[in-house]
Amino acid sequence: MSVARAFDKYEGLGNDFLVLDAAGEDVSADEAIRLCNRRFGVGGDGVLLVLPPRTPGADARMRVVNADGSVPEMCGNGIRCVALRLARARGTRAASLLVDTDAGLRVCDVDDTGGRGLVRVDMGSVRATGDLSLDVDGRPVVVAVADAGNPHAVIFGAFARADVDALGPRIATHAAFPRGINVEFARVEAGAIDLVVWERGVGVTMACGTGACATVAAAIDKGLLARGAPVRVHLPGGDLTIAIDDAGHAVMTGPARHVFSGQLAPR
- Same domain? For 228 and 150 the reply is yes
Whole-prediction pTM: 0.95
CB of 3 closer than 8 Å to CB of 254 = no
Are 27 and 132 found together in one domain?
Answer: no
- Amino acid identity for residue 190 in this structure: A
DSSP reduced 3-state for 79: helix
Largest CA distance in the chain: 56
**In whole angstroms, what is the distance from residue 215 CA to residue 229 CA?**
14
Q: Is the pLDDT of residue 1 over 60?
A: no
* Catalytic site residue from 75, 81, 108, 213: 75
User: Do residue 78 and residue 153 come from a single domain?
Assistant: no
User: Same structural domain for residues 215 and 232?
Assistant: yes
Domain count, the chain: 2
The CATH number of the domain where 106 resides is what? 3.10.310.10
> Is 208 designated active site?
yes
Dump pLDDT digits (tens) for 211-266: 999 999 999 999 999 999 999 999 999 999 999 999 999 999 999 999 999 999 87
Residues 138 and 110 in one domain: no
Rounded to whole angstroms, the Cα distance separating 248 from 259 reads 34
Q: Which of 81, 108, 208, 213 is catalytic?
A: 208
Q: What's the rounded mean pLDDT across residues 186-210?
A: 97
Residues 116 and 207 in one domain: no
Q: What is the band of 2 on the pLDDT scale with cuts at 50, 70, 90?
A: low
How crowded is residue 212: how many other Cβ atoms within 10 Å of its Cβ? 34
Catalytic residue list contains 108: no
The verdict on 96 and 64 lying in the same domain is: yes
Tens digits of per-residue pLDDT, 54-82?
A: 999 999 999 999 999 999 999 999 999 99
Residues 76, 140, single domain; the answer is no
Give the burial class of 245: count Cβ atoms within 10 A of its Cβ; 0-12 exposed, 13-18 middle, 19 or more buried: exposed
Residue 261 and residue 98: Cα distance in Å, rounded? Answer: 24
Same domain, 243 and 146: yes
118 plus 149 within the same structural domain: no
Backbone angles phi, psi at 254, to 5 degrees: -170, 175
Tell whether 95 and 176 lie within a shared domain: no
**Residues 136, 115 within the same domain:** no
Its domain, for residue 139, covers 127-247
Distance CA 8, CA 124 (A): 27
Say which residues have a Cβ less than 8 Å from residue 148's Cβ, sequence separation at least 6.
74, 76, 103, 123, 126, 210, 211, 213, 214, 217, 250
Q: Is 184 left (phi over 0), alpha (psi -120 to 50) or beta?
A: beta
Could you give the 3-state DSSP secondary structure of residue 124?
Answer: strand
Asked if pLDDT for residue 111 goes beyond 80, the answer is: yes
Please enumerate, as own/partner, the contacts of 230-235 that have beta carbons within 8 Å and a separation of 24 or more: 231/191, 231/192, 231/193, 232/191, 232/192, 232/193, 233/192, 233/193, 233/195, 234/192, 234/193, 234/194, 234/195, 235/13, 235/195, 235/196, 235/197, 235/206, 235/207, 235/208
Q: Three-state DSSP class for 169?
A: helix
Residues 106, 100: Cα–Cα separation, whole Å: 6
